[in-house]
């Protein structure tokens, strides 16, 4: 019998269904606002600063925003629940988008980069939303729940780069330029995403999980101790090292080329509408086939899947190098760039989760995510000056050089095909 002093907890299945509905809505609406940064944000940076080199900082700033707030958002969720953390994140991103309206309308540099940094917080919120989907999911449905939130987030990510068209229409009616109009729409979407979470994500799935699960106190580790454990793991785990190299290489190559493609296309006479469509197709290449890629990695092995991804990336970069003035060639190249990234990143991430020891798993995954964001930011920063000093063809060739170490590791057949049963349990 239940003690009269015990408060009955809500049915987890009912709360999970409600949580999924709220997350689906907010992922679509919120990522529409966040998805504007990789295309229109870069164009705005070039327009305000009048510099190709500075345009690369647009992607750098938004990526750094995502990297810097990932851990604070996680800590906020642990202390106050998913509802507070997600709402705060979406509204911080909305503030960033509002600053970008001001930057676009007045051509102000400081609000430009402050806004890009803050709107990048939305990417970290989107990542946390995927984990919120697993808080109350059953053991056999966690992967399915997480994957579905990723999938619906793609809808917003595809629509976001195309806000230039409605932004122009809105701007003409209220006296804003096209960029300011687009970021005003993005700000409204981000405010709405936070509002939906604040009002309807009740009861909070993480807080409910904490109340219903037995609390097992664990000794706190200093951050330096966690870092030493991760580095020690990588020193003795060749499969984990291979996975990290794959993840970071794919991120650097993809971000460097994708960041400079809008700038290159506009120099070739491409319109903001064409740039938006191209980036949308690229994002479709990144995410549309991710379930299929995951299935291929499980059935055919991680190394083979990564090898396929490397081959696709090479084809993409060859197209970019040989046909930099062909609009059709650039579009096909960018779609293949996204698809190759998907193969390498999905398989590399799955392999890393499989082979890393349980005692360092969570810390190691967080460390790799942060490192990937930092590498992406560095690649975006470097791509601008490289394009300004050379050409899009040279940038594509340089990206192929970056792929060489990963290609060598693939050919050497590192131990990347361990079965789940052989996963280390240290």
Q: What is the C-alpha to C-alpha distance for residues 330 and 343, in angstroms, rounded to an integer? A: 20
The pLDDT value recorded for residue 369 is: 67
pLDDT of 298 higher than 70: yes
Q: What is the C-alpha to C-alpha distance for residues 263 and 43, in angstroms, rounded to an integer? A: 7
Delimiting residues of CATH 1.20.1250.20 domain(s) in the chain = 10-210, 223-413
The pLDDT value recorded for residue 3 is: 45
The number of helix segments (H) and strand segments (E) in the chain equals 18, 0
Alpha helices in 301-411 (DSSP H): 302-322, 327-355, 361-389, 392-411
The pLDDT value recorded for residue 361 is: 47
**End-to-end C-alpha distance for the chain, whole angstroms:** 40
% of the chain residues with pLDDT over 70? 80
The string of pLDDT tens digits covering residues 361-380 is 445 655 676 677 778 778 87
The pLDDT value recorded for residue 189 is: 93
Long-range contacts (CB closer than 8 Å, 24 or more residues apart) made by 320-328: 320/257, 320/392, 320/393, 320/395, 320/396, 321/393, 321/396, 321/397, 321/400, 322/393, 324/264, 324/391, 324/392, 324/393, 324/396, 325/268, 327/265, 327/268, 327/270, 327/274
Class of domain 10-210: mainly alpha
pLDDT of 216 higher than 80: no
Q: What is the C-alpha to C-alpha distance for residues 156 and 211, in angstroms, rounded to an integer? A: 33
Mean pLDDT of the chain: 79
Q: What is the pTM of this model?
A: 0.68
Least confident of 16-25, 214-223, 401-410: 214-223
With the C-alpha atoms ordered 272, 183, 260, 277, is the resulting torsion angle positive or negative? negative
For residue 1, what pLDDT band results from cuts at 50, 70 and 90?
Answer: very low
pLDDT of 253 higher than 90: yes
The string of pLDDT tens digits covering residues 59-102 is 677 878 877 876 677 778 777 888 998 999 999 999 999 999 99
Q: What's the chain's length in residues?
A: 426
Class of domain 223-413: mainly alpha
Which residue in this structure is represented by tokens 């300011």? 180
Mean pLDDT in residue range 324-343: 89
For residue 135, what pLDDT band results from cuts at 50, 70 and 90?
Answer: confident
Following DSSP, what letter does each residue of 320-336 receive, concatenated? HHH-TT-HHHHHHHHHH
Alpha helices in 202-237 (DSSP H): 205-212, 223-236
- What are the respective helix, strand and coil percentages of the chain, to the nearest 5? 85, 0, 15
The string of pLDDT tens digits covering residues 172-203 is 888 888 889 989 999 999 999 999 999 999 89
């Amino acid at each position: 019998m239940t003690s009269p002093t015990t408060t009955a907890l809500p049915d987890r299945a009912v709360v999970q269904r409600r949580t999924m509905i709220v997350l689906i809505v907010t992922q679509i609406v919120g990522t529409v606002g966040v998805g504007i940064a990789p295309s229109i944000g870069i164009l705005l940076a070039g327009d305000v600063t009048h510099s190709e080199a500075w345009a690369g900082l647009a992607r750098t700033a938004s990526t750094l925003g995502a990297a810097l707030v990932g851990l604070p958002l996680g800590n906020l969720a642990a202390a106050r629940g998913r509802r507070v953390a997600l709402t705060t994140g979406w509204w911080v991103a909305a503030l960033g988008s509002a600053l970008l309206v001001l930057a676009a309308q007045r051509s102000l540099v400081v609000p430009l980069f402050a806004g890009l940094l803050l709107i990048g917080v939305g990417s970290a919120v989107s990542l946390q939303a995927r984990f919120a989907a697993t808080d109350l999911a059953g053991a056999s449905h966690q992967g399915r729940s997480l994957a579905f939130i990723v999938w619906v987030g793609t809808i917003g990510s595809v629509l976001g780069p195309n806000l230039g068209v409605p932004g122009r229409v809105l701007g003409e009616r209220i006296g804003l330029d096209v960029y300011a109009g687009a970021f005003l729409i993005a700000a409204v979407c981000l405010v709405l995403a936070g509002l939906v979470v604040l009002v309807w994500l009740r009861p909070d799935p993480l807080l409910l999980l904490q109340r219903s699960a037995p609390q097992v106190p664990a000794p706190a580790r200093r951050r330096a101790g966690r870092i030493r454990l991760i580095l020690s793991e990588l020193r003795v785990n060749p499969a984990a090292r291979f996975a990290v190299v794959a993840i970071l290489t794919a991120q650097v190559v993809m971000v460097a080329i994708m960041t400079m493609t809008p700038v290159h296309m506009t120099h070739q006479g491409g319109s903001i509408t064409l740039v938006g469509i191209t980036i949308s197709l690229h994002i479709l290449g990144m995410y549309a086939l991710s379930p299929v890629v995951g299935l291929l990695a499980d059935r055919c092995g991680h190394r083979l899947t990564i090898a396929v991804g490397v081959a696709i990336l090479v084809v993409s970069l060859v197209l970019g190098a040989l046909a930099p003035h062909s609009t059709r060639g650039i579009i096909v190249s960018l779609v293949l760039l996204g698809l190759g990234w998907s193969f390498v990143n999905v398989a590399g991430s799955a392999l890393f989760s499989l082979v890393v020891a349980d005692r360092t798993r969570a810390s190691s995954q967080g460390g790799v995510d942060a490192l990937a964001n930092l590498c992406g930011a560095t690649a975006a920063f470097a791509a601008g000056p490289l394009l300004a000093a050379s050409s899009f063809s040279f940038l594509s060739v340089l990206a192929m050089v970056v792929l060489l170490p990963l290609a060598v590791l693939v050919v050497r057949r590192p131990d990347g095909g361990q079965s789940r049963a052989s996963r280390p349990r240290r």
